[in-house]
C-alpha cells in the first residue's frame, strides 16, 4: 500500500507540472486553434534563465530566498517577452494562412529556440541551485519532500488563478469571446490581436513557472529538456480535451499518475512480459482508449465555452 501511495505522489507531482504546461497549449489552441509546439521550449528557457540569474545573485551574496524570487521574476519576464515575440514573428503574419502553415512555423520556432539556448547556455547539463531546504516528510510509508509539496500547491493556486482570470475578468471575457468568433468579437469592440497576445504572454508566464518547478524538482536543466516535456503536456491537453482549461489540468494530473502507475505495475500486470520501458505505451493506450470513446477528450463537451 505504501508503494501504491508513493506512486500516486510521484504521479501527482509530475502531473502538476504537466498540467501547468498543458494550460499554455490549451489556452492558445482554445483561442486560435493553433498548436504552439514551441511552448515546451519556453519552459526550457524559463528554467535556464532562472539558473543564470539565481546563480549570479547567490554568488553576489544575495540571500537564497531573494535570489530565487528574482530568478523566478526574471524568467517570467523573459518568457513573457518570448511568448509575445513568438506570436508577433511566427504566428501573426500567418493569421489567415491555412492551418498547417502556423503549425510548421511552430515546429520551426521550437528548433530555433533550442539552438539559441544551446548557443547561449551550452550543451552541458546545468545544475539548478537548491532553492528550497531539503525537508523530507513521511506519511504512511511514503516519502515526499518540501519541493514536491510546493509544486502541487503552487500549481493548484496558479490554475485556480487562471480560471478566475478567464471567467471573472474583462480580459477573460474578451478571451472567451475571441475563442468563439474572432471577427464578431472584433465587431463588439474586442481587440482580438491584443487578446491573442495576452493569451501567449499568460501561457508563457505559466511556462516559466513550470520551468522553475521542473528545475527545483530535478535540479538539472538542459537545452533539450523542453521537447519531451512539451510533448507530454500536449498529450495531457489532448487527453483532457484540448482548448478546455479544466481538461488540461485534469489531463495533466491524470497523465502523471497513469505514467507512474504504469511504470510501477506494468511488469506485475503482464507477468514480466512488458517491463517499465513500456510506461509510455501505458500512457498512450489510455489516451487512445479515451479518444476512441470521447474523441474530443475527457472534458470535450465543454468546447463551446473554451477559453
Partner 1 sequence: MQAKLSVVALSVAAALAMGACGKKEEPKPAAAPAAPAAAAPAQKPEIIVKLGHAAPMTGPQAHLGKDNENGAVLAIEELNAKGLEIGGAKIKFELLPEDDQADPKQGSIVAQKLVDAKVNGVIGHLNSGTTIPASKLYSDAGIPQISGSATNPKYTQQGFKTAFRVMANDVQQGKRLGEFAAKQGAKSVAIVDDRSAYGQGIADEFRKAAEAAGIKVVATEYTNDKATDFKAILTKIKSTKPDLIFFGGMDAQGGPMAKQMKDLGIKAKFLGGDGVCTPEFMKLGGVATEGQYCSLPGVPLEKLAKGPEFKDKFNKKFGVDIQLYAPYVYDAVMVMVDSMQRANSVEPGKYLPEVGKSKYDGVTGVIEFDEVGDVKGGAISMYRYKGGKLEYVETLGGGMMAAVKDAAQATGDSAKTAATAVADAGKDVAKEATKVGGEVKEAAKAGAEAVKGAVEKK
Residues in contact with partner 1 by the rule CB under 8 A: 3, 6-7, 10-11, 14, 118-125, 127, 136, 138, 143, 145, 218-220, 222, 224-225, 228, 259-265, 267, 275-277, 279
CB nearer to partner 1: pick between 11 and 300: 11
Q: Which three cell numbers stand for residue 128?
A: 539548478
Place of cell 533539450: 224
DSSP letters of 148-178?
HHHHHHHHHHHHHHHHHHHHHSHHHHHHHHH
Closest contact distance (angstroms) between CB of 41 and partner 1 is: 14
Burial class (CB in 10 A: 0-12, 13-18, 19+), 76: buried
Closest contact distance (angstroms) between CB of 45 and partner 1 is: 16
CB nearer to partner 1: pick between 47 and 178: 47
CB nearer to partner 1: pick between 29 and 37: 37
Closest contact distance (angstroms) between CB of 220 and partner 1 is: 5
Closest contact distance (angstroms) between CB of 7 and partner 1 is: 5
Q: 137 CB contacts (<8 Å, ≥6 apart)?
A: 143, 144, 145, 146, 149
- Provide the strand spans (E) within the chain: 126-127, 136-139, 142-145, 220-221
Closest contact distance (angstroms) between CB of 214 and partner 1 is: 8
CB nearer to partner 1: pick between 14 and 155: 14
Closest contact distance (angstroms) between CB of 38 and partner 1 is: 18
Place of cell 515546429: 107
Q: Are the CB atoms for 303 and 296 separated by under 8 Å? A: yes
Closest contact distance (angstroms) between CB of 119 and partner 1 is: 6
How far apart, in whole angstroms, are the C-alpha atoms of residue 307 and residue 229?
A: 23
CB nearer to partner 1: pick between 52 and 296: 52
CB nearer to partner 1: pick between 98 and 271: 271
Q: How far apart are the first and last CA of the chain?
A: 39
CB nearer to partner 1: pick between 13 and 79: 13
Neighbouring C-alpha atoms within 13 Å toward the C-beta of 120 = 15
Q: Which of 165, 168, 263, 242 is nearest to 205 (CA)?
A: 165
Amino acid at each position: 500500500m505504501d508503494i501504491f501511495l508513493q506512486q500516486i505522489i510521484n504521479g501527482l507531482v509530475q502531473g502538476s507540472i504537466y498540467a501547468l504546461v498543458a494550460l499554455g497549449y490549451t489556452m492558445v489552441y482554445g483561442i486560435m486553434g493553433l498548436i504552439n509546439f514551441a511552448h515546451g521550449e519556453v519552459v526550457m528557457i524559463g528554467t535556464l534563465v532562472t539558473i543564470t540569474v539565481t546563480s549570479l545573485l547567490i554568488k553576489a551574496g544575495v540571500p537564497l530566498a531573494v535570489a530565487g524570487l528574482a530568478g523566478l521574476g526574471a524568467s517570467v519576464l523573459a518568457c513573457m517577452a518570448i511568448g509575445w515575440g513568438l506570436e508577433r514573428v511566427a504566428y501573426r503574419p500567418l493569421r489567415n494562412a491555412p492551418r498547417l502553415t502556423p503549425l510548421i512555423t511552430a515546429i520551426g520556432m521550437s528548433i530555433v529556440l533550442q539552438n539559441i539556448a544551446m548557443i547561449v547556455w551550452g550543451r552541458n547539463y546545468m545544475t539548478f541551485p537548491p532553492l528550497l531546504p531539503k525537508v523530507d516528510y513521511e506519511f504512511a510509508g511514503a516519502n515526499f519532500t518540501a519541493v514536491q509539496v510546493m509544486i502541487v500547491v503552487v500549481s493548484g493556486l496558479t490554475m485556480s488563478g487562471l480560471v478566475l482570470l478567464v471567467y471573472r475578468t474583462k480580459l477573460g471575457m474578451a478571451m472567451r469571446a475571441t475563442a468563439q468568433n474572432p471577427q464578431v468579437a472584433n465587431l463588439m469592440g474586442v481587440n482580438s490581436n491584443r487578446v491573442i497576445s495576452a493569451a501567449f504572454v499568460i501561457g508563457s508566464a505559466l511556462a516559466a513557472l513550470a520551468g522553475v518547478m521542473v528545475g527545483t524538482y530535478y535540479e538539472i536543466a538542459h537545452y533539450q529538456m523542453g521537447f519531451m516535456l512539451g510533448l507530454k503536456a500536449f498529450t495531457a491537453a489532448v487527453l483532457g480535451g484540448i482548448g478546455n482549461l479544466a481538461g488540461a489540468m485534469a489531463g495533466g494530473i491524470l497523465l502523471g499518475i497513469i505514467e507512474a502507475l504504469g511504470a510501477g505495475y506494468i511488469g506485475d500486470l503482464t507477468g514480466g512480459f512488458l517491463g517499465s520501458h513500456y510506461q509510455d505505451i501505458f500512457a498512450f493506450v489510455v489516451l487512445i482508449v479515451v479518444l476512441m470513446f470521447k474523441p474530443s477528450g475527457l472534458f470535450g463537451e465543454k468546447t463551446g465555452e473554451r477559453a
